[in-house]
Amino acid sequence: MNKFVLSRRRALLLSSGALAAPMIASGVARAADDWPTKPVKYINLFPAGGPTDVLSRIACQKLSDLTGQQFIVENKGGSGGNVGADAIAHSAPDGYAIGLMSVASHAIATSLYARLPFNADRDFTPVSMLWSLPNLLIVRKSLGPKTVSELIALAREKPGKLSYASSGAGTTVHLSGALFCSMAKVDILHVPYRGSAPATQDLLADQVDMIFDNIPGSLAQMGGGKVNGLAVTSLERSPMAPEVPAMTEFLPGYDINSWGGICGPAGLPPAIVEKLNALAKQTLASDDVKNAYLKNGATPLWMNVADTVAYRRAEETRFGPIVKANGAKVD
């Protein structure tokens, strides 16, 4: 075969490739525009039954209603949310595997853990915020204290003898306790669990003394009469429990909130990101979701994509010094 024929074939191949490229790009764009055409998996980073599970399912039900496709919650708890976050990071970037972007995994973990299987900035595509909510400190009623001042006094009388549960190392439930111990100058043992539900079960069984749980779970337990609610972790009292003081009333400057949003793996097509962000806005604007969130102590918190990216980064920067100041570290 002579050089002329080879050159002609090479030119034809290059030409056909150049023609195919825009066709492929057009096909990807159409797929994004049509999304979703089948059920979407939403990975929750914590076990079923906890506050993030309840709030995630409320949002996913509305997303299902809006799109006509199921948004199925899959719970992957463990390591303070890092197990589920890693599963999101390693999912295919096609819009059919998304999940919870949590303050624990996407803002606190980078400062808390010596090693992580993912990079919070590089391995995810932030889509939208969903909610913000404070934690609420509850103690088992048989422990005795009915106020924060009484709890601090008891902890100082019994250094190292009291314990606080958390939904996992690196969660705001954990850091709320760590910050409390630091600011109140008390020594209380941290006992991490694989989610709020099992932690609360042990609290009710008198296996641990207290928990700084997300406000929906804590309020539910207060209604059961087996615990005392002492303080919320936000700067102001919560409208869900106005009779409960804010921790800053006892420890000035104390402020920790939990938040959740939607993210996907890195490389999620921009058209899907924008469409999902718009759907999240519709979801949080609906009266049924707003009422359900408020009933569970959460404030709807929609943001556009750019603001969502900036908010996550700002929270990561804010929590770094808190983790460092409290000497919290997980190998």
Domain-ending residue, one of 249, 272, 288: 249
For 152-198, write each residue's pLDDT tens digit: 999 999 999 999 999 887 788 889 999 999 999 999 999 998 888 89
Which residues on adjacent β-strands are paired with residue 257?
Answer: 134
Question: Does residue 243 contact residue 148 with C-beta atoms inside 8 Å?
Answer: no
Of all helices (H) and strands (E), which one includes residue 171? none
Q: Let me know if residue 147 belongs to a domain.
A: yes
Whether residue 212 sits in one domain with residue 125: no
The string of DSSP codes covering 253-310 is T---EEEEEEEEETT--HHHHHHHHHHHHHHHHSHHHHHHHHHTT-EE----HHHHHH
Q: What does the pLDDT look like over 92-142, one tens digit per residue?
A: 999 999 999 999 899 999 888 888 999 999 999 999 999 998 999 999 999
Q: Report pLDDT for 13.
A: 45
- Domain residues for the domain of 167 are 134-249
Tokens 């999240």 appear where? 280
CB 214 within 8 A of CB 173: yes
How sure is the predictor about 317, in pLDDT bands with cuts at 50, 70 and 90? very high
Is there a single domain that holds both residue 37 and residue 128?
Answer: yes
Q: pLDDT averaged over the chain?
A: 89
Domain boundary among 227, 249, 271: 249
Better-scored residue on pLDDT, 195 or 85: 85
Comparing 133 with 310, which gets the higher pLDDT?
310
Q: At which residue do the structure tokens 């463990």 appear?
A: 78
Q: Which of 224, 249, 274 is the last residue of a domain?
A: 249
> What value does the mean pLDDT take over residues 231-244?
92
Counted domains in the chain? 2
**73 inside domain:** yes
Among residues 176, 165, 48, which one has the least CA distance to residue 108? 176
pLDDT, tens digit, 9 for 90 and up, residues 210-237:
999 988 788 889 988 899 999 999 988 9
Let me know: does 268 contact 89? Beta carbons within 8 Å.
Answer: no
Does any domain span residue 40? yes
Q: In whole angstroms, give the CA distance from residue 172 to residue 233.
A: 10
CATH number at residue 167: 3.40.190.10
> Quick one: CA torsion of 144, 150, 151, 154, rounded to 10 degrees?
-80
3-class secondary structure per residue, 192-236 = ECCCHHHHHHHHHCCCCCEEEEEHHHHHHHHHHCCEEEEEECCCC
202 Cβ contact partners less than 8 Å away, ≥ 6 residues apart = 165, 191, 193, 208
